Amino acid sequence: MEKQSKRTSGLRRRWMTSSLLPVITILVLISALVSIGLGSTYYSNARSALEAKAAAGAEYFNTYAMTNYEEYYHSAALYVNSFEDSDRIELQFLNSNGAVDVSTRSMMIGSAPGTQDVYDALSSGVISSYLGRDSATGERIIAASGLLKFQGEVVGIIRLVTSAHNLDSQVLLTVMIILAIMLAVSFVVVISSLLLINNVVAPVSAVSEAAKQISGGSYGFCIPNRYADEMGELVDNINDMSVKIGQNEKLQQEFISSVSHELRTPLTAINGWAETLLADVGESEEEEAQRRGLSIIIKESSRLTKMVEELLDFSKMSDGRFTLDMEPMDLQAEFEDTVYTYHQIFKQEGITLLYTAGDEYDETISADPVRLKQVFCNVLDNAAKHGGSGKRIVTRLNRSRGNYIITVRDFGPGIPEADLPHVKEKFYKGSSKARGSGIGLAVCDEIIRLHDGTFSIDNAKGGGTIVTIKLPVRHVRRENSQKK
């Protein structure tokens, strides 16, 4: 479920990245452009208004107010006293050196503003404006200056100055309103997108979980179809696939079970008659070929009988009939008996089978002795079949932390790394050329799992393969419903 959650979260993340990020980026860019544009318009309009007033004042003085040079100062004083916008705009008259001669604010008289609009007006003779900080007060201001002339000579400069504080506040308020609108739109887009992606992710997650159950063996499982769009069509297709796989799986299990049962009787008869005939064959050289042929028949019929038993076990595993007959059991005695039996068999094949125990353990556990012996035999058979080239197999039983631990190690070539994660899967044979059904280890794993234990296969350090079986010492007896 954690993996599924990560995948759906990844789908949401990809959706947000690919769909919402561009939208929000566009909204931010639009908001920034609109804010910059409006701010620029506000400041431009303010500068234009001051420039217009400065132009009107300069034209009035240059045309009407000055009839001689001495009259400039008197006219400037009268113009300042009658200036109607003195509450928000400061009117200044500067001499040709850039110093304030007359002002609506007497404290500025004698100072030299030194802003760019003054220099530009003196140098170009046209109305010039300035937006920036006042060098004297540090306050942000907007200023406009116009040149005053009499008979071609520069008499002074008319300069209008206003604080940019109110304009700055207005621009900031406008930007905040735009930002709030952008955030509100982004919130609506995010919420609508989340609702949309949830409507997509929820059914995808449900379908994915159902497909996971089907792939895990729950063939025939169907997903409730509550969708009328393409998702509904997908659910129908998955349900149809699940039903057909379930039907095929049932036919396969029935076929395997039927064939396995049909094969057991003739194989038992073949093996029995071959052993009977072998017992009647003499020891002469003339009968050697007959004796060898009967031995081959017995060996191959035994191998086929084992494969049939494995197929029956597989059939029971597939349809849930694979259960245990639990009873008190001396695990150490059972394992030692199996090792002793195989010691004699392996000796004939030139393989040394060694056994060591950590101690003598007489505590019984609740287990199925027949099934556990099946596991021991299968593991030892595999050790000889795949690792017999090492001519040595080492087994060990000890007890650690409330568990019996059984290890079987061979000294053969080991298992290829690519095959190692799959060796316990049903019918998996990998690169091995050894004959067999490919389900023996899967059956062993299932038996140990039903005993609440673990069954692991790894490559041993120094070469070879090591099988580790871990069984709990105190095992809870299973109910009768789990018995055969």
Q: H/E/C letters for each residue in 375-433? A: HHHHHHHHHHHHHHHHCEEEEEEEEECCEEEEEEEECCCCCCCCCHHHCCCCCCCCCCC
Among 48, 140, 148, which Cα is nearest to 95's?
Answer: 148
Confidence at residue 468, expressed as pLDDT on a 0 to 100 scale:
94
Give CA 358 to chain center in angstroms: 46
Last residue in a domain, options 302, 319, 336: 319
215 belongs to a structural domain: no
Amino acid at 298: I
Tell me, yes or no, whether 201 lies in a domain. no
| Res 463: pLDDT | 86
What's the rounded Cα separation, in Å, for the pair 117 and 119?
A: 6
- pLDDT at position 477: 44
pLDDT averaged per 10 residues in sequence order, the chain, 484 residues: 51 71 86 89 89 89 74 83 87 87 84 87 88 84 89 85 88 90 87 76 73 70 73 79 76 68 74 77 73 78 73 66 82 90 86 87 84 89 83 91 90 86 74 62 87 91 91 58 39
Predicted pLDDT at 466 = 93
CA dist 110 to 36, 73, 107, 140, 146, Å?
A: 38, 14, 8, 21, 19
Residue appearing with tokens 């070929």: 289
Same domain, 128 and 32: yes
302 and 392, same domain (yes or no): no
407 occurs within a structural domain = yes
Token code pair at residue 455: 């069954």
Q: How many residues does the chain have?
A: 484
Contacts of 81 (CB under 8 A, 6+ apart): none
Residue 479: per-residue pLDDT: 39
Number of domains in the chain: 3
d(CA 145, CA 130): 9
Within this chain, do residues 279 and 239 fall inside the same structural domain, yes or no? yes
Distance CA 256, CA 263 (A): 10
Chain position carrying tokens 């919130």: 187
| Residues 313 and 331 occupy one common structural domain | no
State in Å, rounded, how far the first CA of the chain is from the last one: 34
| Closest CA relative to residue 167, chosen from 88, 80, 51 | 88
312 and 339 both lie in a single domain: no
Whether residues 301 and 334 fall in one domain: no
pLDDT of residue 482: 42
Q: Return the H-helix or E-strand segment holding 190.
A: helix 165-215
Q: Would you state the pLDDT for residue 318?
A: 63
6 and 152 together in one domain? yes
Radius of gyration of the chain (CA): 49
What is the three-class DSSP state of 327? strand
Residues 331 and 315 in one domain: no
Closest CA to 451 of 331, 335, 308: 331
CB 225 within 8 A of CB 242: no
The answer to whether the beta carbons of residues 289 and 262 sit under 8 Å apart is: no
pTM beyond 0.75: the answer is: no
Q: Are 455 and 445 in contact (CB under 8 A)?
A: yes
Read off the CATH number of the domain in which 57 is found: 3.30.450.20
Q: Considering 289, 319, 349, which residue would you say is the last residue of a domain?
A: 319
In this structure, are 151 and 252 located in the same domain? no
CATH number at residue 442: 3.30.565.10
Contact 324, 368 (CB under 8 A): yes
Tokens representing 320?
């849930």
Structural domain contains residue 437: yes
What is the reported pLDDT for 478?
A: 42
Residue 249 is encoded by which pair of tokens?
């799986």
- What CATH number is attached to the domain comprising 300? 1.10.287.130
Range of the domain at 423: 327-482
Give the whole-angstrom CA distance, residue 373 versus residue 447: 10
Asked if the structure places residue 187 within a domain, the reply is: no
DSSP structural state of residue 4: H
Same domain, 350 and 407: yes
Is the CA virtual torsion 382, 387, 391, 394 positive or negative? negative
Is 223 domain-assigned? no
Q: Is residue 134 part of a domain?
A: yes
Domain end point (choices 142, 169, 196): 169
Residues 103 and 51 in one domain: yes
Residue 380 domain flag: yes
405 and 311 fall within a common domain: no
Residue 398 to residues 22, 407, 447, 459, Cα–Cα distance (Å) = 64, 9, 20, 20
